[in-house]
Amino acid sequence: MNVAVRIDDLDRDILNALMTDARVPYAEMAKRFNVSPATVHVRVEKMRASQIITGTEVIVNPKLLGYDVCCFIGINLYAARDYHSALEKLNQLDEVVEAYYTTGAYNIFVKLMCHSIEELQHVLINKLQAIKEVQSTETLISLQNPINRNVKP
């Protein structure tokens, strides 16, 4: 099992800053938190080494790339044991951006991004429901995403 890594207030401050903007200069954080740039550097390296920080990425606006439709889909399999093979096939669909193994009403829960409702329909019928392990699906269309943030360190 994973266990939480100990981090202090300075780590937390740095992490918060980097979670808002991964390219803030160390010197700026240093000034803000009253330490030297090198100290910031050391802390970031430590958090990288301990895998608290696993990478960086640019934040893109999916709408401007033409992805207008976002939805969640609950998937039921004929047999729960087919989880792995179903997942492998889901992984090959670019439209599937997130997948969760869940308890409760569904076996797998996925988040899907499409260019249009027509594409969603196509993906649902010809890709998702074409997976032989899939028994049924339930779709939840998102019209808006008013909250989207990270956990508080």
What residues make contact with a copy of itself under the rule CB under 8 A? 2, 4-5, 7, 15, 18-23, 50-68, 70, 72, 74, 87, 90-91, 94, 96-106, 109-110, 113, 138-153
- Measured from the CB of residue 37, what is the shortest distance to DNA in angstroms? 5
- Measured from the CB of residue 20, what is the shortest distance to DNA in angstroms? 14
Q: Read off the tokens for 86.
A: 């179903």
Residue with Cβ nearer DNA (60 or 151): 60
- Return the bridge partners of 32, or none: none
Footprint of DNA on 21-50 (CB under 7 A) = 23, 25-28, 34-39, 41-45
Q: Identify whether the C-beta of residue 115 lies closer than 8 Å to the C-beta of residue 71.
A: no
Torsion angle of the four alpha carbons 112, 114, 118, 119, in this order, in degrees rounded to the nearest 10: -90
Only one residue has tokens 């074409």, namely: 130
- Measured from the CB of residue 59, what is the shortest distance to DNA in angstroms? 16
**Residue 131 region by backbone torsions, left for phi larger than 0, else alpha for psi between -120 and 50, else beta:** beta
Per CB under 7 A, residues contacting DNA are: 10, 23, 25-28, 34-39, 41-45
